[in-house]
Structure 1
Amino acid sequence: MYPLVFLAYAGVISAATFTIAAFAPNSEVDGALLNAMRQSFYIGTSGPATFCPSSTVPSCPDVEGTLVTGGFTAMAAMVPGGQQVYVSPNGQVKYTVAHTAFMPQGSYTDGWFNKTVVQDCGSIIEILDWLATDGSNSGGLALCPKVADFLTGTGASHSLYARTPGFNQDDCIDVMGLVQQSSNAAYGCWQYL
């Protein structure tokens, strides 16, 4: 049984914050919450890597997962200048370090769109997907098991990638899209680390 997909190319509109989870029916990663850690998004971690300075924010809000906003174009962080979400040329979905807008040349800062999934025996689901805006017709999302050594012990098992022209990962699990789960919190932390 395969879900039907309807694309909605009206722009992604979201002033609210939300967490993101993988939508990959019939796979071991379906429903896995994505967390921000070391400027990328991973599944398997117990939570995001955050910082809330006691002099500015007494404590980080008690929220489950990483909060993003703006149609997955920005982190829901309080730090001046914000933290922008982008897709690196090799496809890894990343976010900028606080206090800088640096991203590698050739990175994508847009391409996210809504699509509707209609399932035979389930509810209608709105998910977020990605398509390159460079005319290459590259697109789609995957969770790939290549995780950096410095994440050993964090539980990180897969990293989020978009299928850019430069994507070259192996053993990835295709993800139909990302489920956006609304949050009542205006931000998730001062900054994501």
Structure 2
Amino acid sequence: MKTAIALASLAAFTTSVQAQYFGLTAIHSGSPIHFLPVNAAGGILRLGGISAHYCPETVQHEGACPNTVVTNFLGGNGGLSMGALVPGGQVDGQAYVDPKCGAVKYTEPHSAFIPAGAVTDGFSFSQGSSFGILSWGEGFTACNDTGDGTWSVYAFMPNVTLPDAPHCLGFDAVATNGSIRDALTAEKTRAVR
């Protein structure tokens, strides 16, 4: 009996820990950003493209770096961080909003440096029955300003003018696990055909 209770408690604990990590997908129906994943690359969050991952050399030598092309996140109740999958990976990967331009950026591996005036506590996560929503005050927008086909993610901030504003689109950031993200990708593929 004690073993069954212990196993049930462990399963509940594992589920609650796993529920903290999530991927993000942009939702803006009928637009080029609809169903694009939110990825971390080059110090900024982007829609589309491939996620840039940091994996420590010791873990690389052991061949234990995760084989993934998406960014996982953690938190959303005030702050937002990168979800590190290996010890020492993306240490202090805290997301913040750049006060000069509104870009949603993140700290570099092994650095906790955040520019003066940057905002780290405006993120809000709400969980629904099938998926969650990551919110930010007045919302998120994505601008096609990278030159590489990805879209930079910005948070609306007072007194900040977004770059290339005519080429920006607002979006909802839907929190997904792998199976939901796969279903969204399949739906986008069907819509394109």
> Taking structure 1 as the reference length, what is the TM-score of the superposition?
0.68
Structure with the bigger RCO (C-alpha within 8 Å, sep 6+) is 1
Q: Percent identity?
A: 30
Normalized per residue, the structure richer in strand is 1
- SS in structure 2 at match of 1:82: coil
Structure 2 residue 30 is the aligned partner of structure 1 residue 19: no
Unaligned runs of 5+ in 1: 1-12, 118-122, 132-138, 185-193
Equivalent in 19, 27, 37 of residue 41 of structure 2: 37
Matching residue's letter, 1:40: I
Unaligned runs of 5+ in 2: 1-16, 180-193
Q: Distance in 2 between matches of 1:166 and 1:116?
A: 31
Q: Distance in 2 between matches of 1:54 and 1:114?
A: 33
> Which residue in the other structure is 1:129 paired with?
135
1:23: Cα distance to partner?
A: 1.6
> Which residue in the other structure is 1:188 paired with?
none
Larger Rg: 2
> Which residue in the other structure is 1:141 paired with?
140
Write the mapping of 1:155-166 to structure 2, written as runs, cut at 5 A. Answer: 155-166=148-159
Q: Distance in 1 between matches of 2:127 and 2:53?
A: 32
Q: Distance in 1 between matches of 2:88 and 2:42?
A: 16
- SS in structure 2 at match of 1:55: helix
Q: Given the superposition, is the C-alpha separation of residues 183 and 113 from structure 1 closer, same or farther in structure 2, using an over 3 Å criterion?
A: same
- Matched-pair contact (CA < 8 Å) for 2:102–2:157: yes
> Which residue in the other structure is 1:84 paired with?
94
> Which residue in the other structure is 1:67 paired with?
72
Equivalent in 118, 134, 139 of residue 107 of structure 1: 118
- Matched-pair contact (CA < 8 Å) for 2:55–2:88: no
1:59: Cα distance to partner?
A: 3.6
> Taking structure 2 as the reference length, what is the TM-score of the superposition?
0.68
Q: Given the superposition, is the C-alpha separation of residues 14 and 59 from structure 1 closer, same or farther in structure 2, using an over 3 Å criterion?
A: closer
Superposed CA RMSD in Å reads 2.8
Equivalent in 28, 52, 58 of residue 49 of structure 1: 52
> Which residue in the other structure is 2:107 paired with?
96
